Amino acid sequence: MGKKILVMGGEALKNQVKGPVTLHVVERIGKYPPPEDIRTVPRIIEDRCIMCGTCVDVCPNHCLWIEKDDKDNGMIWFLSPQCMWCGHCQTYCPKDAIHVDRDPSSSNTLFSFNVRQDYEMLCAKGSFKGEKAEKKLAEVIEEGGKKLKEIEEFRS
């Protein structure tokens, strides 16, 4: 019992010295202030998207990520539970290719913390379109299913 208290006390002191874990979020929000009226889910207009990755760079919660081979081929993914609907992606997109859906009830991914369904492909371009995108989505869903199974086993 005494050893646990010492370990916990050591961890508490270490965390006090390190500072907040989410400091990078505060720094990004300071650098890229969010618009006041936006609080919903991003959607990408594929025809306008140039796969520049600006939306990924400005996202303070890292809920967007890009996977690409070259300039014209890639996919942009979205992890809905991490999104705080700040609107940075829309504000800083150089081609006005990303918009936020103003009606949060229209998205079935909001507040659905199901590991298999929280990943959403927002955009697929070039060689990533079609079969490759469907295959990647199936892989992500399968991986999410494994994680969900692990969570269920852990809880029981």
Task: Report pLDDT digits (tens) over 126-156.
Answer: 878 878 778 877 887 777 777 777 777 887 7
Measured at the CA of 66, the angle between CA 77 and CA 139, to 5 degrees, comes to 55
C-alpha dist (Å) from residue 147 to 87, 116, 121, 153: 29, 8, 19, 10
Give the span between the Cα atoms of 56 and 66, in whole angstroms: 7
- For 29-71, the pLDDT digits (tens) are 778 776 665 556 788 888 899 999 899 999 988 888 888 887 7
Domain 22-155 fold is Alpha-Beta Plaits (3.30.70)
pTM: 0.58
pLDDT at 1 over 70: no
Listed in order, strand segments (DSSP E) in 55-134 are 64-70, 73-79, 98-100, 119-125
